[in-house]
Amino acid sequence: MAANEMSGDVYYPSEDIVNNAHIPDYDSVNDKAVADLTGFWDEIAKENFEWYAPWHTTLDDSNAPFYKWFVGAETNIVHNALDRHMHTATRNKAAIIFEGEGGDERIITYHQLNRLVCKFSNVLRDQGVVKGDVVTIYMGNIPETAVAMLACAKIGAMHSVVFGGFSSEALLGRIEDSKSKMLITCDGAWRRGKIVDLKAMATVAAEKSTSLEKMIVVQRTNHDVEMKDGRDFWYHDLMADASDKSETARLSSEDNLFILYTSGTTGRPKAILHTHGGYMVYTATTLKWVFDLKDEDVWWCAADPGWITGHSYIVYSPLVNGATSIMYEGTPDYPTPERWWQLVQKYGITILYTSPTAIRGLMKYGSELPKKYDLSSLRLLGSVGEPINPAAWKWYYEHVGNSKAPIMDTWWQTETGGFMMTPLPSVPLKPGSATRGFPGILPDVVDKDGNSVKPGEEGTLVIKGPWPSMLRTIYGDDERYLKQYWSEFKEQGWYCPSDSAKKDEDGYIWVIGRQDDVINVAGHRLGTAEIESALVSHPAVAEAAVVGLPDDVKGTIVKAFCIVNQGNETTPELGEALRAHVGKEIGAIAKPASVAFVDSLPKTRSGKIMRRVLKAQELGEDVGDLSTLAD
Ligand code: WT7
């Protein structure tokens, strides 16, 4: 797939779009931000948000890269997402329009959402949750997930959302790592007409956990589940008795908002930490400017709250902006591949933000399906998670956006909190490029010494300078934070996201993909080490290596190479068992597409597996420099 081929096509936005955009001229705003970064954010933060007390320092870089933003200020993101809207017409506006996989519908106004959050914050307090505690949330894509997140933030507890597709083992690892005492889950989640028994998996994790004390269970699928007395509580029981009056905690701008685990180069996921003030200012501003959010818009970020995209752009930033946000429980092609187009027509959705994988998945059903529906409400489109190949870009543009709606290809990460490289609606587009930095963000592509590469040359992507929603650290592991993100260009003080990229003559950046041992499957990050350690935890496996191989729909798929222990037969059944084992250890998204049995693995003399050799062999490419190969 030619995702990273720099194509020559340029798409210019219509005059109408440019003239009506919040930011009609990218260059002047970017120049202003670059010239005075702190002045720029200072002004935005003052004008668009409410603070209980102002900051004395916009950016404290005295202990870089442990940057702090809006230092001295008191705030709470929930005050800006809910409380302040209670005094305006937004109070009566739909905050969340939820549609279940089976077609059930719930419209929750800001007033109603605020009441739910107030009540649930009191429930958490009654259960002993206090400021600074980590509350784990393991649920589906339903409004109660947002309620739980907001209720934690309201009282100053940190949430740690674990994607509902992860296994009980993955959930347990995250509970233990964060020493979480409280888990919020559901009886089950709907997926392709079947129930995913989240409660059963939560129970397995709870029984093995050394820290978990209590579990609150939301009823969604209504199937029979086992509840343990004194440990497990029904959400609806606790909510029935809870008061709907609740004070929002006055927090400092730099108080912790949440952790979210993401994959890295080792087998152990990293807990990325975000804080209240900077995250609020940056995510809300990026959503408003990039997707040109207006009061009358119906915004649909078709992600899951279990990923950063859901945190930033389903839950927090739409609410801070007082927007109406769609939440859809199901997958794009169930029960029919027309499901999404039905939703766009039904709710008059104006902005759709999704991933290249979803687009390619829908594209394979042809353009007749979107044509059957009235998609004329769509005025802007978005893409995130992986490079979008020009063919998918053009299909999305022509058949979903009716060749009118510009596509905002946003490059960012769990760590960055919000969009980093992205067009604004007024910026000319090139299919496959996330264009340039959001105003004030300085991305560049450099060689090993930090020199900017020439146009067309590949190099390392760096971000030259801090931004408000940057991760503050890896929770509990400052050293790993320094090493992972700031050691490669330590002298220059640049943030290193571990992506490779190219730049073209116009300064547009073309992201190629990960540089580290992370595989991006359907826009989800998986560590090779994580999958390999799951494989070797199976009694039949002695050694394992996994690589990512190109795939037309998912972008990348995982292929595993295993050496079995003596006495095991390398049958297709064992391959199937190993795939299932990875599903159990991590989750279905991590299952290798195929498992090959081998007698040896290519390794360096120091014993490091050379995955690139395996990959090149698979692709029939030149294996390159083999001088470090042991055998
Ligand atoms: C990695 C971050 C940010 C939410 C989704 C993933 C890749 C992300 C793009 C894009 C090319 C992209 C990068 C990045 N990526 N967006 N528009 N074009 N690549 O978040 O799980 O933290 O993964 O996703 O490789 O490093 P994440």
Summary mean pLDDT of the chain: 95
Interacting residues of 63 by C-beta distance below 8 A, sequence separation 6+: none
The correct CATH number of 520-619 out of 3.30.300.30, 3.10.20.740, 3.20.20.80, 3.40.50.970 is 3.30.300.30
Span 47-58, pLDDT tens digits: 999 999 999 999
The correct CATH number of 106-252 out of 1.10.287.130, 3.40.50.980, 3.30.70.580, 3.10.20.90 is 3.40.50.980
Predicted confidence at residue 388, as pLDDT, reads: 93
d(CA 201, CA 610): 35
Q: Decide the pairing of beta strands 214-218 and 194-196.
A: unpaired
Question: Domain extents for the chain?
Answer: 106-252, 441-516, 520-619
Percent of the chain with pLDDT over 70: 98
Q: How far is the CA of 513 from the centre of ligand 1 (A)?
A: 8
Pocket test for ligand 1, best of 438, 525, 530 (most atoms within 8 A of CB): 525
pLDDT band at 263 (very low <50, low <70, confident <90, very high): confident
Q: Specify the residue with its C-alpha closest to ligand 1, atom 27.
A: 413
Residue pair 5/22 in contact (Cβ under 8 Å)? The answer is: no
| Number of the ligand 1 atom closest to the C-alpha atom of 524 | 21
Instruction: List the one residue out of 222, 270, 321 whose CA is nearest residue 22.
Output: 321
d(CA 198, CA 139): 7
Residue pair 307/163 in contact (Cβ under 8 Å)? The answer is: yes
Rg (CA), the chain: 24
Pocket test for ligand 1, best of 4, 166, 301, 412 (most atoms within 8 A of CB): 412
Instruction: List the one residue out of 309, 382, 397, 319 whose CA is nearest residue 351.
Output: 382
pLDDT band at 516 (very low <50, low <70, confident <90, very high): confident
Q: Specify the residue with its C-alpha closest to ligand 1, atom 1.
A: 413
The number of CA neighbours under 13 Å toward the Cβ of 256 is 22
Span 296-349, pLDDT tens digits: 999 999 999 999 999 999 999 999 999 999 999 999 999 999 999 999 999 999
Predicted confidence at residue 7, as pLDDT, reads: 64
Predicted confidence at residue 22, as pLDDT, reads: 97
Pocket test for ligand 1, best of 304, 386, 438, 470 (most atoms within 8 A of CB): 386
Global pTM?
0.94
User: How many residues are recorded in the chain?
Assistant: 631
Residue pair 469/279 in contact (Cβ under 8 Å)? The answer is: yes
Task: Report the pLDDT averaged over residues 482-504.
Answer: 97
pLDDT, greater one: 523 or 483: 483
Scanning 36-109, the segments in alpha helix (DSSP H) are 37-48, 77-81
Q: How far is the CA of 85 from the centre of ligand 1 (A)?
A: 32
pLDDT band at 11 (very low <50, low <70, confident <90, very high): very high
d(CA 363, CA 5): 20
Predicted confidence at residue 523, as pLDDT, reads: 86
CATH topology of domain 441-516: Luciferase; domain 3 (2.30.38)
Q: How far is the CA of 443 from the centre of ligand 1 (A)?
A: 14
Instruction: List the one residue out of 85, 21, 4 whose CA is nearest residue 49.
Output: 85
H/E segment holding residue 578: helix 572-585
CA distances from 386 to 263, 358, 391, 519 (A): 15, 11, 14, 11
Cβ-count burial 197-232 (b if 16+ within 10 Å, e if not): bbbebbbebbeebeebebbbbbbbbeeebeeeeeeb
Predicted confidence at residue 604, as pLDDT, reads: 79
Pocket test for ligand 1, best of 162, 355, 411 (most atoms within 8 A of CB): 411
Predicted confidence at residue 533, as pLDDT, reads: 87
Strand partners, 438: none
pLDDT at 24 over 50: yes
Burial class (CB in 10 A: 0-12, 13-18, 19+), 608: exposed
pLDDT at 253 over 70: yes
- DSSP secondary structure string for all residues of 123-188: HHHHTT--TT-EEEEE--SSHHHHHHHHHHHHHTPEEEE--TTB-HHHHHHHHHHHT--EEEEES-
| Number of the ligand 1 atom closest to the C-alpha atom of 497 | 26
Span 77-131, pLDDT tens digits: 999 999 999 999 999 999 999 999 999 999 999 999 999 999 999 999 999 999 9
Q: How far is the CA of 101 from the centre of ligand 1 (A)?
A: 26
Span 441-461, pLDDT tens digits: 999 999 999 999 999 999 999
Predicted confidence at residue 609, as pLDDT, reads: 83
Weakest mean pLDDT among 468-482, 483-497, 533-547: 533-547
Interacting residues of 566 by C-beta distance below 8 A, sequence separation 6+: none
For the chain, the straight-line distance linking the first and the last C-alpha, in angstroms and rounded, comes to 32
Q: Specify the residue with its C-alpha closest to ligand 1, atom 3.
A: 413
Q: How far is the CA of 600 from the centre of ligand 1 (A)?
A: 33
Q: Quick one: CA dihedral 579, 585, 588, 590, positive or negative?
A: negative
pLDDT band at 4 (very low <50, low <70, confident <90, very high): very low
Interacting residues of 560 by C-beta distance below 8 A, sequence separation 6+: 531, 535, 544, 545, 546, 578, 582, 592, 594, 595, 596
| Residue with token string 């009609």 | 24
Q: How far is the CA of 556 from the centre of ligand 1 (A)?
A: 13
Q: Decide the pairing of beta strands 458-463 and 499-503.
A: antiparallel
| Number of the ligand 1 atom closest to the C-alpha atom of 308 | 4
Cβ < 6 A, ligand 1 pocket: 262, 308-309, 384-387, 409-414, 434, 497, 499, 511, 513-514, 520, 523, 525
d(CA 537, CA 19): 58
pLDDT at 6 over 90: no
Determine the angle formed by the axes of helices 198-208 and 168-178, rounding to 10 degrees.
50
Q: Specify the residue with its C-alpha closest to ligand 1, atom 24.
A: 385
Q: How far is the CA of 74 from the centre of ligand 1 (A)?
A: 32
Predicted confidence at residue 610, as pLDDT, reads: 85
